[in-house]
Amino acid sequence: MIASIDTSLIDWSRAQFALTAMYHWLFVPLTLGLGVIQAIMETIYYKTGNEFWKKTAQFWMKLFGINFAIGVATGLILEFEFGTNWSNYSWFVGDIFGAPLAIEGILAFFMEATFIAVMFFGWDKVSKRFHLASTWLTIIGATLSALWILIANAWMQYPVGMHFNPDTVRNEMFDFWAVALSPVAINKFFHTVLSGWIVGAVFVMGVSSWYLLKKRETEFSLESIKVGAIFGLVASILIVWTGDGSAYQVAQKQPMKLAAMEGLYEGGNGTGLVAIGLLNPDKTSYKDNVNPFIFDIKIPKLLSFLAERDVDAYVPGIVNLIEGGYTTNKGTVALSAAEKIEKGRIAIQALADYRKAVKDKDQVAAEQARSLLDENFAYFGYGYIKDPADLVPHVGLTFYSFRVMVLLGGYFILLIVGKTLASLVLDILKDHPFLLALQIGGDHIVDPADLQLLVIVRLVLRRVISIERADIPMDRPDLYDVGVCNKGVHGVGQPANQQIFLEEVHHLPVHSCIQALTGKELLMHHIDGELIKPVCQQKLLKIQREHALYFNASDGDRGGLLQGHTEQRPAGDIGKP
């Protein structure tokens, strides 16, 4: 059957799924970060009772809602593609892979979908405490969604807590907590959430910086930047720790990915980390003896320390992993790729012999085949590999994506630290346009690029646990049409999303009007509905003149003067101070 599979069909399936995942990933981190920031702002409003913070939270909540809606839509497409593109995989590992996805839908998604309605439409309809709780529960639900999805993804990287059932020819879960608490899953969750927090902080600071450049909403912008900067600074400190843990997990569980990330072909003891390097385009194979770098600058022994917590530890390269024979950190001798492929073929044949023996009711033969299968099943997937070179990921893509991702991540950390100093310590932010422009560029250009590089590095070389094939219930022309239509929708959806964002940013509640009229508490009380729209200076002066008349009018005339600047209120409330 393997020989009859059209590899171009598999490539199209991978391309469609990869593009959908990368598009979806544009929205997820902002949801995680902006949701917490808006909840912090509403918490400040709850504690202080200051209407300024209510309006500020409501503004960011609108942008959160736009982003959340498109994120949900693109996420649903990914769910369907598990069936349309990878139906055989979904059936083969559905008992394990489906469990965290089901929990995500039933628990986390329902939780956020329920409380998001209260968060958006519950203002002045529920108590302040209940609304605040709904806001926090919405973002907690979104974070839990990320947790269970990342648990599923981590299991693909590091499959644990399951065994293979030769009678059903499926992998089945036997230890749920081993899957849920996998060290890869836990580290991946914290690292992803913290990256989302940084994205949210950079976004808030970027939009606020635009307002400062336009000389608009100074107090709103500065206060938003302060919240974003402090929040981003905390996330930036923590993400250094989770990033180190992520690299360590890759070294322990996926050494081939680490070797590709470092362009490391020949390993050794006390291996250095490539800080700057340019790969040699003439290097086309792991065994061609061509120098992999045109030039490189290494930090001595740092890779050994990061990978094994020992500056003199052995780190295998691509050639070592393919040829084997080195001593692992567990004290065993590593098998070569050829030996793993042979063991995989033995496991595949043992499975066929077992099923035949069961069908023939030959108990002895079945037990022998089952024993041979269990002995070699760890290498089952290798049995479908024809050339050891297929086990090597694209080195150039992985090497450069990882380095640019780290470089941009460092840029964000420096940017957040600089914004924190400028806004909180030196109070010079609004007087330095260059700092504002730098922030806006990071928000709109650098940030999305860094997110896509993170996806590339994360998804390279997902470990194939038992099978190297796809069973896709559509022929190639159909899949091509679906892929083109899918990307067409994305091409329209992203500009539309950005246009909606821009519309909402331009229609920011004008806090400067609130500041100008704070001496008239009655005015603030009655024109609350007006403040959710842009108010130009001329209109503001008109409102001030009319309300000056209000204070000098008789009780009987005040109701008419307020008409047009109030929401619908009971008649008995109109003239009350």
Higher-confidence residue of 472 and 445: namely 445
Is the pLDDT at 2 greater than 60? The verdict is no
State which H helix or E strand residue 305 sits in.
Answer: helix 302-308
Contact 261, 457 (CB under 8 A): yes
pLDDT of residue 3: 45
Q: Lowest-pLDDT range, 114-128, 210-224, 287-301? A: 210-224
Q: How confident is the model at residue 26 (pLDDT cuts 50, 70, 90)?
A: confident
Nearest 10 degrees: Cα torsion 431, 432, 438, 441: 40
pLDDT of residue 215: 77
Reading the block at residue 508, the tokens are: 């920011």
pLDDT of residue 421: 72
With CA atoms as reference, report the closest residue to 276 among 293, 297, 258.
297
Is the pLDDT at 465 greater than 80? The verdict is no
Q: Lowest-pLDDT range, 356-365, 379-388, 480-489? A: 480-489
Q: Lowest-pLDDT range, 8-22, 42-56, 369-383, 423-437? A: 423-437
Those residues whose C-beta lies under 8 Å from the C-beta of residue 234, and which sit 6 or more positions away, are 197
| Three-class SS state of 517 | coil
- String of DSSP letters for 167-226: TTTEEEES-HHHHHT-HHHHHHHHHHHHHHHHHHHHHHHHHHHHHHHTT--HHHHHHHHH
pLDDT of residue 530: 39
Q: Lowest-pLDDT range, 3-7, 52-56, 75-79, 274-278? A: 3-7
Within 10 A of 418 (CB to CB), how many other CB atoms are there? 15
- String of DSSP letters for 252-264: HH-HHHHHHHHT-
Q: How confident is the model at residue 464 (pLDDT cuts 50, 70, 90)?
A: very low
Q: How confident is the model at residue 226 (pLDDT cuts 50, 70, 90)?
A: confident
Token pair 């081993």 is at which residue?
Answer: 178
Is the pLDDT at 46 greater than 80? The verdict is yes
Q: Lowest-pLDDT range, 250-264, 291-305, 338-352, 505-519? A: 505-519
Q: How confident is the model at residue 447 (pLDDT cuts 50, 70, 90)?
A: very low
With CA atoms as reference, report the closest residue to 56 among 209, 220, 231.
220
Backbone CA torsion sign across 81, 82, 86, 88: negative
Higher-confidence residue of 437 and 71: namely 71
Averaged pLDDT, 222-238: 89
Determine the residue type at 85. N
Residue-averaged pLDDT of the chain: 77
Q: Lowest-pLDDT range, 92-101, 141-150, 347-356, 451-460? A: 451-460
Q: How confident is the model at residue 45 (pLDDT cuts 50, 70, 90)?
A: very high
158 φ/ψ angles, rounded to the nearest 5 degrees? -145, 85
Is the pLDDT at 567 greater than 80? The verdict is no
Those residues whose C-beta lies under 8 Å from the C-beta of residue 306, and which sit 6 or more positions away, are 244, 247, 248, 251, 273
pLDDT of residue 390: 86
Is the pLDDT at 563 greater than 50? The verdict is no
Radius of gyration of the chain from Cα atoms? 29
β-bridge mates for residue 296, sequence order: 277
Q: How confident is the model at residue 229 (pLDDT cuts 50, 70, 90)?
A: confident
The Cβ-side half-sphere exposure at 293, using a 13 Å CA radius, reads 17
Q: How confident is the model at residue 532 (pLDDT cuts 50, 70, 90)?
A: very low
Percent of the chain at pLDDT exceeding 90: 34
Rank 17-26, 225-234, 366-375, 398-407 by mean pLDDT and report only the highest: 366-375
Distance in angstroms (rounded) separating the CA atoms of residues 156 and 169: 18
Percent of the chain at pLDDT exceeding 70: 71
With CA atoms as reference, report the closest residue to 188 among 464, 455, 463.
455
Q: What is the DSSP letter of 265?
A: S
Q: How confident is the model at residue 222 (pLDDT cuts 50, 70, 90)?
A: confident
Q: What is the DSSP letter of 473?
A: S
Residue-wise pLDDT tens digits, 365-378: 999 999 999 999 98
Determine the residue type at 426. L
Higher-confidence residue of 128 and 516: namely 128
Is the pLDDT at 570 greater than 50? The verdict is no
Within 10 A of 198 (CB to CB), how many other CB atoms are there? 28
Is the pLDDT at 189 greater than 60? The verdict is yes
Angle between helices 183-213 and 28-48 (to 10 degrees): 70
Within 10 A of 499 (CB to CB), how many other CB atoms are there? 10
Averaged pLDDT, 515-541: 40
Those residues whose C-beta lies under 8 Å from the C-beta of residue 35, and which sit 6 or more positions away, are 64, 68, 138, 139, 142, 200
Distances (CA, A) of 386 to 66, 244, 390: 47, 35, 8
| Three-class SS state of 293 | strand
Those residues whose C-beta lies under 8 Å from the C-beta of residue 459, and which sit 6 or more positions away, are 18, 21
Averaged pLDDT, 403-413: 82
Averaged pLDDT, 144-155: 91
pLDDT of residue 148: 93
Q: What is the DSSP letter of 124?
A: T
Distance in angstroms (rounded) separating the CA atoms of residues 160 and 396: 30
Higher-confidence residue of 444 and 205: namely 205
Distances (CA, A) of 70 to 23, 26, 103, 138: 10, 10, 22, 16
Q: Let me know how long the chain is.
A: 577
Q: What is the 3-state secondary structure (H, E, C) of 352-413?
A: HHHHHHHHHCCHHHHHHHHHHHHHHHHHHHHHHCCCHHHHCCCHHHHHHHHHHHHHHHHHHH
